[in-house]
Chains A and B, each alone.
Chain A
Amino acid sequence: MIEFSLDSRSGVAPYQQVVQQVRQALRLGLLGKGDRLPTVKDVVASLAINPNTVLKAYRELEHEGLVAARPGVGTFVTRSLSDGSLAAHEPLRRDLRRWLTAARTAGLDEESIEALFVSTFRAAEEKTA
């Protein structure tokens, strides 16, 4: 089971935040096929958000084919996003840590590191697109 959290200053609509968090959990292997998502009531009770927000997020996930609702039982994960790639996560994370250490020793502060990463990431994406 996963727990959601909302950042009200992110500018991202709450339902999209829920969708993103489910996707991320699927990618990171926190959620796998057959796992049950928290019930709408549980999400609502912990986040104090409108139930329609959660329903909308779950509907979108269903539409994407990631989950399926079984009436009266709950919403279950039908597909995992982590297949195959999950094994590669650990070495990649190690590389990234090494890179971060290198960046710090080079004198970059946190903001500069983030800026460098984001701009490189965007530039790379534009090239592939």
Chain B
Amino acid sequence: MSAILRAQGLGKRYRRRWALADCTLEVPPGHVTGLVGPNGAGKTTLLSLAVGMMSPTTGAIEVCGGRPAADAAQLAKVGFVAQDTPTYPTLTVAEHLRLGARLNPAWDDALARARIAQLGLDTAQRAGKLSGGQRAQLALTLGLAKRPQLLVLDEPVASLDPLARREFLQSLMEAVAEFELSVILSSHVVSDLERVCDHLVVLVDSTVRVTGEVETLLATHHRLSGPRREPHTLPADQQLISGSATDRQSTFVVRTDAPILDPAWTVSRLGLEDLVLAYLQRSNQPAPVLAAASAAGPTLLAVRR
């Protein structure tokens, strides 16, 4: 199966600053791919490039086999729910559906109406009067009823309360189950993505840090804790992701395909959030120096969120 998104040396520069640099990435179809990273890491830039809202400075990006937003047919293949889920405040819910129907040849009106009814939205209500959660659901409805192959969502739940967040993700997952849709969604909160994503892309400081199937990532990353030792003494097949230490104890997060045999270590599984955090920590301290241990407790590396 060919990739639903393929980026080759992709970069985007705003004046002097590179918002995304040398990004080479393949996202397989049929997955819900989570794009995580701290604010300002380049998530919105990558997604904007993917939907053709902007053009790359360097490299190339291909989505659903074509150049993003190249023509109407390409636009029809990709749905986009932008950050803060913009809608027209003076247009009613019904008028938004009409907008979708007029502007999308593959529009699924039955789906749109069923969803609006299921959500209990008043079709005569102006979008400006909807709650944040309802507006997000309306934007999602527009994105889904367009019947795209790929739906891209930029921080869709960031501004929602926990209940609306849950309802939004339920709606999204229901649609994924029903339409075999590929989804790429970004978030700076990993716990939002933990259940919904089966593929992960971690973006830190404008570059892709790690990418892969969630299950594989969880199976190959381990937290080792044991007596203090220097990181360079780890075996060659264990890639150090992050580490911290006290004067007596070392804790490392490593990536390895091989089993960990050293009996000195207590090995534990990582949750998705811990895994992502390990990569974020690494970005702050590219080569973790485990000196300067405090007697008070483990040295915590600051995490940028």
Contacts and interface: CB of A to CB of B under 8 A. Distances in A.
Direct A–B contact in complex, judged by CB atoms less than 8 Å apart = yes
A14 B214 CA distance: 12
Interface in A1-28: 6, 8, 11, 13-14
Interface stretch (B125-133, B191-199, B254-262, B278-286): B191-199
B176 A48 contact: no
B170 A45 contact: yes
A13 B215 CA distance: 9
A40 interface: yes
B173 interface: yes
B195 A51 contact: no
Contact of A44 (B173, B191, B198): B173
A78 interface: no
Interface in A41-83: 41, 44-54
B195 A47 contact: yes
Interface residues of A, number: 18
Interface string B261-275: 000000001010000
Contacts of A45: 170-171, 173-174, 177
Contacts of B224: none
Given A13-B218, A44-B177, A52 B169 contact: no
Contacts of B269: 11
Q: Give chain B's interface secondary structure class.
A: helix
A40 B195 contact: no
B58 to A, nearest CB: 33
Interface string B74-110: 0000000000000000000000000000000000000
Range for the number of chain B residues in contact with chain A:
20 to 34
A50 B176 CA distance: 8
B173 A50 contact: yes
Nearest to A49: B195
Interface in B171-199: 171-174, 176-178, 191, 194-198
Interface in B211-227: 215, 218
Given A50-B32, A52-B31, A8 B177 contact: no
The 9 A-B pairs of least Cβ separation, nearest first, read A51-B177, A48-B169, A45-B174, A44-B173, A48-B170, A49-B195, A41-B177, A44-B177, A50-B198
13 contacts: A8-B191, A11-B269, A13-B215, A45-B173, A46-B170, A47-B173, A47-B195, A48-B166, A48-B172, A48-B196, A49-B196, A51-B177, A52-B198
